[in-house]
């Protein structure tokens, strides 16, 4: 259950906050006392910010200079940053043979490069000690799954970036961790959740036999952003209903 005082006095940034996991995370952090800057290129980010009493910034995280624009906005709004949640990303990847240069660049730029650049540009504002960075990776970045090449490679990069940066920043009192969601009920996965192959390959073998809710991912992000995770660094926590641990399809009747 949310603790209204857990993040009291802390300033948080959530990218990709217009919908899905990002919106749920912004609401969760705000419900626990954080001041939240909601970032997204989707105009719906204003609705998220209004709902959680925060501020909105319309920004394409992959655009040139996006990190510095975000840093300037955070400095003006808060003066510092206690929590950074790198959630913004895109889906819809294809097999490598069907991936042209533009598609590869789009996935790597948005899902990986933007995470590095935004984090780099916000580092001077992060609280020392006590800063928290939580990245959103994916189960597809942890194991091979055909048909998602550029997406999977980018998310694998996010997971390794998490481990790398944890080693660099933990001595300064900044903890870096990640979540790796499985099938979550978001607009990004809506088409996949209606695809018979995807249902057989991904959703049906999930031990919990269902997709997750954005709020279930947000609760783990909130834990990693809190003092309750004070001895957790460099972890990539699967929030996937057990899919990575034990994939097994239902027995046929």
Residue-level pLDDT, tens digit, the chain, 253 residues: 677 799 999 999 999 999 999 999 999 999 999 999 999 999 999 999 999 999 999 999 999 999 999 999 999 999 999 999 999 999 877 899 999 999 999 999 999 999 999 999 999 999 999 999 999 999 999 998 888 899 999 999 999 999 999 999 999 999 999 999 998 987 776 666 667 777 777 788 899 999 999 999 999 999 999 999 999 999 999 999 999 999 888 877 5
**Total tally of structural domains belonging to the chain:** 1
In a domain, 146, yes or no: yes
- Strands of the chain (E only): list them: 11-15, 35-40, 55-58, 83-86, 132-136, 175-181, 236-239
Which amino acids are annotated catalytic?
Answer: 151
In a domain, 208, yes or no: no
In a domain, 246, yes or no: no
CATH code: domain of residue 58: 3.40.50.720
Domain that holds residue 67: 11-184+213-239
Helix, strand, coil fractions of the chain, as percent rounded to 5: 45, 15, 40
In Å, how far from its chain's centre is CA 27? Answer: 14
In a domain, 205, yes or no: no
């Amino acid at each position: 259950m949310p603790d209204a005082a857990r993040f009291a006095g802390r300033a948080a940034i959530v990218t990709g906050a217009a919908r899905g996991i990002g919106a749920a995370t912004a609401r969760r952090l705000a419900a626990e006392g954080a001041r939240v800057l909601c970032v997204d290129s989707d105009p719906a980010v204003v609705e998220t910010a209004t709902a959680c009493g925060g501020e909105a910034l319309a920004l394409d995280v992959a655009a040139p200079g996006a990190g510095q624009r975000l840093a300037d906005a955070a400095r003006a709004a808060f003066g510092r940053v206690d929590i950074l949640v790198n959630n913004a990303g895109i889906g819809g990847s294809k097999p490598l043979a069907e991936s042209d240069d533009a598609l590869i660049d789009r996935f790597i730029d948005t899902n990986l490069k933007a995470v590095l650049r935004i984090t780099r540009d916000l580092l001077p504002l992060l609280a020392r000690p006590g800063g928290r960075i939580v990245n959103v990776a994916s189960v597809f970045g942890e194991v091979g799954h055909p048909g998602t090449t550029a997406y999977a490679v980018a998310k694998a990069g996010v997971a390794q970036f998490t481990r790398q940066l944890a080693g660099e920043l933990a001595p300064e009192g900044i903890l870096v961790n990640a979540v790796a969601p499985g099938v979550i009920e978001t607009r990004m996965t809506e088409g996949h959740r209606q695809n018979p192959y995807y249902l057989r390959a991904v959703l049906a073998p999930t031990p919990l036999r269902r997709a997750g809710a954005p709020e279930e991912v947000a609760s783990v992000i909130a834990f990693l952003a809190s003092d309750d995770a004070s001895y957790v660094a460099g972890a990539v926590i699967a929030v996937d209903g057990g899919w990575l641990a034990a994939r097994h399809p239902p027995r046929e009747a």
